[in-house]
Amino acid sequence: MNLADTMSRITTLFSYVGMFLLLVNLPLIAAGAVVVPWPLVLMLLFAPTLMSLLQLALSRSRELDADLDAARLAGDPEGLASALVKLERYQGRFWESVLLPGRHVPEPSLLRTHPPTEERVRRLLELREREPTLVALARPAEQRLAMPLGLGEVDTRPRWHWSGLWY
């Protein structure tokens, strides 16, 4: 993501420099002394936008990969799908009900940094059907993990505290 951001910034910088040079040479262009390659001028105009869209697409694909890795790590794609649905249900509910009662304004799909929740849930549930051994590979609660530096052992599953927090 850092490389994509750097490339996007460099592309934007080159675009600004190119447009500035075009503006400086405007008197020569008006006099007919210079021939302007107009396809390159259009590329200067649209290159930053295209780089930003590619950066957003990379972010969406990385989010789907993160869901896949989380499902493999936790061993419970259904639980992750349920958590995603719950987060989607509570996200923005207060402000949407105050400012836009009765409607939800979706973002255009090209401008999202995350894929739609329905797509993420569908892929997680497909993962459950494709890899049924995923759930079987999850560690039982009896197994304990050794902490580094001899700090003891911990349970592999979170526990519920009377305060309502999981730790």
Is 117 among the domain residues? yes
Give, for all 167 residues of the chain, the pLDDT tens digit: 889 899 999 999 999 999 998 899 888 888 888 888 889 889 989 999 999 989 988 888 888 888 888 888 888 888 888 888 888 777 766 666 666 665 555 666 667 777 888 888 888 888 877 776 555 444 444 555 555 565 565 555 566 667 766 65
Is 156 among the domain residues? no
Is 51 among the domain residues? yes
Is 148 among the domain residues? no
Is 104 among the domain residues? yes
Domain count, the chain: 1
Is 155 among the domain residues? no
Phi-psi region at 112: left, alpha or beta (left = phi > 0; alpha = psi -120 to 50): beta
Is 52 among the domain residues? yes
Which domain, by its residues, includes 7?
2-135
Closest CA to 16 of 53, 48, 54: 48
Cα separation, 157 vs 66, in Å, equals 20
Rounded to 5°, the CA angle 77-80-86 comes to 145
Closest CA to 81 of 71, 90, 73, 91: 71
